[in-house]
Structure 1
Amino acid sequence: MNGLRRNYFPIYKDFGSLLDNFLSTQTDDATFGDLSKWAPAVDIKEEKKRFLVIADLPGVEKDDIHISLENNILTLQGSRSYEKRDTQEGYSRIERSLGQFHRQFTLPQTVEESKISAKYKNGILEISIPKKEQALEKRIEVKIEE
């Protein structure tokens, strides 16, 4: 059947070669995306007394990171500065994204908003979001009457 398609429907042959040419050309990946926007990788971990948000922000200056919380939405935004390049000479590929980033996460009502803290070291941002005292697990013994 495959041979039949190629013989009687030449469009399959043309389409196949067009697709092969498209996939084999060495185009820069930046052609298909906007390098001025990117999204850092983020892990969110729930611990007994807090949530921990860990974001990979290599190459981002501390002063270029902004964290806010409004209506239980944690917003992480900032930018990674452009390197000054006189020309693109010598580059065969440019994959590192630069420019603005913006991530938002909805937090549960059980967080202690006023006690959020953050640390930034070696390109890793850690945001610690404590849970409210009443949200912590408490064990209550219930007596059973006869």
Structure 2
Amino acid sequence: MKLAHRTTTNNWLPSLIDEMFTNDYMGGTAPIKSWNPAVNISEADDKFELDMIIPGFKKENITIEVDQDVLTISSEVINDKEEKTEQFTRKEFTLKSFSRSFNLPDTVNKEDIAADYNDGILNIVLPKKEEALPQPKRMITLK
């Protein structure tokens, strides 16, 4: 979005404002892209395991919900920063957020899902239902 401004040779303020609203503060002029955390999903005989890398988030800001057959992991954190001097007041805020949803298979025991967050890695254990577990081999004797 370009802001309309007067064209005078001594007026640098409009071009500065224009740059502020079109720059992503990362050195380019492309818009900032949304962030989706990396996820590893593995399966064992008795469970599925989901590991999500979300550094910089606090445990109390992470929400994990199961609704019907959908597991949703999300977080939203707003940080305010204010700097005051005699000449100016500068206030900035940042928003860090993500939301990821996963369809759960029918074999997951939704009542016993467990989660742990350590060193920026969220680990979710999705145990399988008893009937989905592998059955032991049985020997049949001949008559």
Indicate whether the TM-score tops 0.5: yes
- The code of the aligned residue for 1:128 comes to V
Give 1:131's match in structure 2, choosing from 128, 132, 137: 128
What is aligned with 1:108? 105
Pair 30,125 (structure 1): closer, same or farther in 2 beyond 3 Å: farther
Q: Cα deviation per residue 1:4-27 (whole Å; 9 max; x = unaligned)?
A: xxxxxxxxxxxxxxxxxxxxxxx7
Aligned length: 108
Contact 1:60/1:81 (8 A) holds in 2: no
Secondary structure of the residue aligned to 2:81 is coil
After TM superposition, give the deviation of residue 127 of structure 1 in Å: 0.6
Report which of the two has the higher share of helix.
1
Q: Residue 46 in 1 paired to residue 43 in 2?
A: yes
- The code of the aligned residue for 1:33 comes to I
Q: Residue 67 in 1 paired to residue 64 in 2?
A: yes
Secondary structure of the residue aligned to 2:41 is strand
User: Residues of 1 paired with 2:28 and 2:37: CA distance?
Assistant: 18
Secondary structure of the residue aligned to 2:30 is helix
**Structure 1 runs of 4+ with >4 Å offset:** none
> What's the % identity of the aligned pairs?
33
- What is the aligned-residue RMSD (CA, Å)? 2.5
Greater mean alpha carbon deviation, residues 77-86 or residues 103-112? 77-86
Structure with bigger RCO (C-alpha 8 Å, 6+ apart): 1
Q: What TM-score do the two structures reach when normalised by structure 2?
A: 0.64
Secondary structure of the residue aligned to 1:84 is strand
Give 1:118's match in structure 2, choosing from 115, 120, 131: 115
Structure 1 residues not aligned, in runs of 5+? 1-26, 87-96
After TM superposition, give the deviation of residue 125 of structure 1 in Å: 0.6
Q: Residue 32 in 1 paired to residue 16 in 2?
A: no
